Each structure stands twice: as structure tokens, then as C-alpha cells.
Amino acid sequence: MSKAKKSRVLSGVQPTGDVHLGNYLGAFSSWVQAQDTTESLFCIVDLHALTVEIDPGELRSNTIEMAKYLLACGLDPEKCAIFVQSQVPEHTYLTWLLECTATMGELNRMTQFKDKGRGNDSVKVGLFTYPVLMAADILAYNADLVPVGEDQKQHLELARNIAIRFNSRYGETFVVPDPLIPKVGARVMDLQTPTSKMSKSTSSPQGILYLSDTPEQIDKKVRRAVTDNDAEVFYDPHNKPGVSNLLELLGCATGENVDELATKYTSYGPLKADTAEALTELLRPVQARIKELSDNESYVLEVLERGRVRASELARATVDRASQAVGLLPAKTIQGIGGH
Ligand code: AQP
């Protein structure tokens, strides 16, 4: 009897500075789970990082640093491919084919662009077209599943729509991907403004928990987290966003159900103390592995090279098919984009 084909999983993260708990709980922990049962590819999306101003030296070192974080969080290069987006030029080639499939109306509706760039003449064109590059990242691998935080749901929907339109215009070329959004931790909120997501670009230093934070920093930030005045502990993200965020963080760190956890507390102090302690324990092994990797850059580069080879092989095959489908000259003319 032939074995059922494994689903393919693809997801990415921008190398834009320190990794925060939203990235870890919303994305990386599902990635670590996925690598055991699926064919998984994870991508450090450095081209996306160019959509906002970033120092070249910083981009280079952030890219290596992000690879270390992915390994420290539990990705295993024996089970998945970890690679750098710009090292697989098929992503940008496919973006053009997809930009000629997506519409201005669709991109105009992307809320992340509305929040970050709308109405500002000096905003980069790349920030506007970023969701199409993200669609190419996914469709180049014919990924079945894309594990992401809730903030990426709209971009995923766009990738699906582009794939469906391309397939119906040019024939079956792309797999239409599904999002994989975790039940808890899909939207980690800012500790100071719990109605907004924890985010590198908008959270204040007190509102964001970094994976590199010391136990003292975690304790201080969690104790100062904004809650409310009624001192009752129950899970209701709409009416009690701050308390619900703490319950979710504690639930993610301990594996316990948030409603059950809520019944254990009658005031905020103990909830905050337990949350800080659980998060410190959650991050302890990650921080220890980061230390181990800090002197082993050659190993990290080797992992990325292995990932690049695997990713290039898959992406080239899809790009060949897509190019021929739209009527471009045969694949031979595009093989070896980037000289490999
Ligand atoms: N607050 C969050 N809760 C749950 N998941 C989150 N993700 C990001 N923030 C949260 C998920 O992390 C993955 C990588 O996202 P990214 O590349 O957009 O990372 P980022 O730039 O670090 O995300 P930020 O902090 O949200 O940056 P801004 O706001 O500056 O763009 C994705 O799967 C994302 O869903």
C-alpha cells in the first residue's frame, strides 16, 4: 500500500530585530509542531524587511540572528528546510507573474497597508505590493498549509484568491493554501495597550516581551501589564482584554485551558506572578540554546545553505510551470536565475 503524501507547510518571518512572544506563540511553536508530521519549509523573508527603512549591516546581522532564533525555538534542520528568501530568486520572479494577476482593488483593501502607509507619499511601493511577494513565497512551494498568527489572515486570503484566479485563467498551476492559525496565542496583545497586537513597530518597550528578556525584565513587564479596575479574573477578550491576554500567555506557557486557569485566581497579583514565572520557564531553554549557537555561525550558515538548495529545487519547478502557463518562452531560458 502506498503511503499518503505528506502535506507541505511553508511560513516566514521578517528579520527585523528582536523576536517577540507574539512571533513565538503565534507562529514558531506551530512550526515546530508541523515539522514532525509535514514536509516543512521556513523562510527568513529579508526582502519583506526592505519595505521599511533598514540599515544594510543590521539587515545582514538580523538575518543570521533570526536563523539562530528559529533553531533555538526548536526547528530541526533534519526535519525541515530553513532558508533565506533573497537566496531563492524565484520568489521575485514569481511575484511579477502574480502582480499581473492581482488587482489594485485587492491590494487597496489590505488593512496592514492602510494602517502603516496609506496617505503617505514617501511610503515605499514595496510596502503596497508586499502581500503579492508573500503570495509568491507561498505559491512557489505549492504549500497546503501556512501556519501564521491572526494578523496574516487577510494576506493569506489574498494568496488564495490569486492562486484560484491564476488557475482558472491559465490552468491548474498552484495549490490553493489554507491558513493554520493556533487556537491560543494567535493574537498576543501588547501588555500596555491590550486592544492592539504585540508588534515590533508599534509596541512600546514596556508593552512587548522579547525572547531575549531576562527573568527580571519579564517580571517587571508582566507586573506592570494594563488590566482593569474590577479585579475579577475571567476570560473575555472583548470586555477584559488585558486579563484575557495574561490568561492566554499563561495558558500557552503551561498548556492549560484558559477558562480553567481563570477559576484559580481571585485577584490580579497572583495571576501576574504566575504568568511571569511560567514565561520565564518557557523561555529558559530557548535562551540557553541561543547562547550555544552564538559562537557557531558557520553551523547556522551551513543550515541556511542546505535549506536554499532544497527550496530552490522546489521553487524552480513551480516557476517553470507558471511561466509556461502564461505563455513565456520555455523554462530553459529562466533556469539558473541568480546563477545557480
Ligand atoms: N502579536 C502577535 N501575535 C501572534 N502572532 C504574531 N505574529 C506577529 N505578531 C504576532 C506572527 O509572527 C509571524 C512573523 O511575523 P512578521 O514577519 O510580520 O514578524 P514581525 O515583523 O516581527 O511582526 P510584528 O511584530 O507584527 O511586526 P510589525 O507589526 O512591525 O509588522 C507571523 O506569522 C505573524 O502572524
DSSP class of 50: T
Phi, psi dihedrals of residue 245, rounded to the nearest 5°: -65, -45
Q: Which of 70, 137, 146, 199 to mutate to test the pocket of ligand 1 (most atoms within 8 A of CB)?
A: 199
Angle at which helices 125-139 and 153-170 cross, to 10°: 70
pTM of the model: 0.93
Residue 337 has pLDDT above 60, yes or no: no
- Lowest average pLDDT, out of 197-201, 252-256, 261-265, 302-306, goes to 197-201
Nearest to 239 by CA among 188, 201, 194, 172: 194
Yes or no: domain 205-293 corresponds to CATH 1.10.240.10: yes
Nearest to 150 by CA among 106, 124, 113, 189: 189
Burial per residue of 171-208, b for 16 or more beta-carbon CB atoms within 10 angstroms, e otherwise: eebbbebebbbbebbbbbbbbbbbeebbbeeebeeebb
Report the pLDDT value the prediction gives residue 336, as an integer from 0 to 100. Answer: 55
Q: What is the mean pLDDT of residues 91-116?
A: 94
Assigned CATH class of 8-185+297-336 = alpha beta
What mean pLDDT value characterizes the chain? 93
Domain regions of the chain by residue span: 8-185+297-336, 205-293
In 167-251, beta strands by DSSP E: 178-180
- Is residue 335 very low, low, confident or very high in pLDDT (cuts 50, 70, 90)? low
The atom of ligand 1 lying closest to the CA of 198 is 1
Report the pLDDT value the prediction gives residue 202, as an integer from 0 to 100. Answer: 78
Q: Which of 14, 16, 23, 134 to mutate to test the pocket of ligand 1 (most atoms within 8 A of CB)?
A: 23
Q: Tell me how far apart the alpha carbons of residues 6 and 118 are, in angstroms, rounded to a whole number.
A: 41
- Whether the CA torsion 56, 58, 60, 62 is positive or negative: it is negative
Question: What are the pLDDT digits (tens) for 229-271?
Answer: 888 999 999 999 999 999 999 999 999 999 999 999 999 999 9
Asked if 160 contacts 143 with a C-beta cutoff of 8 angstroms, the reply is no
Residue 334 has pLDDT above 60, yes or no: no
Name the catalytic one among 197, 221, 240, 272.
197
Is 272 among the catalytic positions?
Answer: no
Residue 119 has pLDDT above 80, yes or no: no
Residue 148 has pLDDT above 80, yes or no: yes
